[in-house]
Amino acid sequence: MTDFLEQPLALIAAAIQEGQITSTSLVTACLKRIEQVNPQLNAVVSIAPEQALKHAAKADADLAAGKSNGPLHGIPMTIKDSLDTFDMVTTWGTSGRQQFRPGKDASCVARLRAAGAILVGKTNTPEFTLSFQTDNLLFGKTNNPFDPTRTSGGSSGGAAALIASGAVPFDIGTDTGGSIRLPAHFCGICGIKPTSGRVPCTGNALPSFGLIAPLTQPGPLARYVADLEMLLPIIAGPDYIDPHCVNASWHDSKQVDLSQLRIGYHSDNGLSSPETAIVASITKVVELLGEAGLQISQGTPSGLQMASLIMSRLMAADDQDLIITLLDESRTHAPSEKIKKSLERGKAGMTAVEFAHTINVWHSYQSSMLSYFNDYDLLICPVNAHTAIPHGEEENMLDYSYTMAYNLTGWPGVVIRAGTDESGLPIGIQILAAPFREDHCLALAGFLEAKLGAFSQPAVRYRKTPDA
């Protein structure tokens, strides 16, 4: 039964609908696999086996009565602990919410349940999602499934580690500076940051209002590119609460003719030079696309080198008011070291003119970057300058400019695995497209996924659980 957990979502859904498996047996297998791998990963921070099995039994009864609850009928899922769940504690990784039950689902979670998915547990996140390493004072650090001495990334590191272990088919993460794409890269799975405004942020730790709200997007992490495309339309669209979410049209990647698209790439963004193995993975992908007869040439968006500076100015522009408010509303009196350091940096002391200038520079950057699409339809580049780093290693924020740059623009970005470094750690590549053209990203990602084939998997994934 565990093998079904490692299949594409469409196949799992069809197996349930056709009676090859039951939701009860699938959820049981998922719970057993979590029990087996979580001591090594520390990815799942809360779990509700009785509740999940009760919902699975109802899903089976509904199907027997001829009622299907949606495209995800009876399929187990986990959800990042920054997203509210009405029936499970949602801590946001902060001590003041250790026993907090929101009473209402985040909008994207409610939509997944309405599509038939069954929540089995919550996955670890750093406090308020504000770190590129998943670690907090409540639950500790989440380990990388390829090497437990290394981080799984952040802030959706619990989700990525669990999916890579084969314990759950999908999870929903959030991405403010790379928090879906970085863990996907570090853990060797797929993830998508949708276009800003595609998915409502209602019910996430970082609010859907305020200066930096447009930087954040929820999005799915999964094992296959097709899974991302199946999940994203389910959670997309206005909830009439998030003021930034729009009713944008959805395009099917199956209708995309890659031969008509102009693909650009770069292996170095001019801010931080990637490791040799990462450059080699980009080169391999470029060669594959060239051999397939696709239009590909080297190209870097104009203004990219400003990304890190703009992000640092934006994150400081509110004089730490966002963090102070989150701590107060959560009733957290002992924040994590990451949060303490942010507070210790103190107030930026921007004048009104300096603040206005920061916003103008941000908007000018967005405009300059958009000019890239006069010459290209897609961009391939690294996700980060490094593969998974050791726990607690101090980050060079320039290494993370490869993802932060596209939170600033709002462009959609897909990460897929494209290689392995000399230490056996996975290497992801990032595929970006114009706003609301997720179909372009997904079409190219699916093409490359098929061309690149299978990669080595973490040992934890192959410690099989007995069939349910």
Tell me whether residue 259 is one of the annotated catalytic residues.
Answer: no
Q: Which of 23, 32, 80, 193 is catalytic?
A: 80
Q: Residue 167 and residue 184: Cα distance in Å, rounded? A: 15
Q: Residue 420 and residue 401: Cα distance in Å, rounded? A: 21
Residue 67 exposed, middle or buried by CB count within 10 Å (0-12, 13-18, 19+): exposed
Q: Which of 179, 272, 330, 342 is catalytic?
A: 179
Q: Which of 155, 253, 308, 336 is catalytic?
A: 155
Nearest Cα neighbor of 20 from 7, 31, 34 is 7
Tell me whether residue 340 is one of the annotated catalytic residues.
Answer: no
Tell me whether residue 179 is one of the annotated catalytic residues.
Answer: yes
Task: For residue 236, report the phi and psi dihedrals to the nearest 5 degrees.
Answer: -85, 160
> SS3 string of the chain?
CHHHHCCCHHHHHHHHHCCCCCHHHHHHHHHHHHHHHHHHHCCEEEECHHHHHHHHHHHHHHHHCCCCCCCCCCCEEEEECCECCCCCCCCCCCHHHCCCCCCCCCHHHHHHHHCCCEEEEEECCCHHHCCCCCCCCCCCCCEECCEEEEECCCCCHHHHHHHHCCCCCEEEEEECCCCCHHHHHHHCCEEEECCCCCCCCCCECCCCCCCCHHHCEEEEEECCHHHHHHHHHHHCCCCCCCCCCCCCCCCCHHHCCHHHCEEEECCCCCCCCCCHHHHHHHHHHHHHHHHCCCEEEECCCCCHHHHHHHHHHHHHCCCCHHHHHHHHHHCCCCCCHHHHHHHHCCCCCCCHHHHHHHHHHHHHHHHHHHHHHHCCCEEEEECCCCCCCECCCCCCHHHHHHHHHHHHHCCCEEEEEEEECCCCCEEEEEEEECCCCHHHHHHHHHHHHHHHCCCCCCHHHHCCCCCC
Tell me the catalytic residues: 80, 155, 179
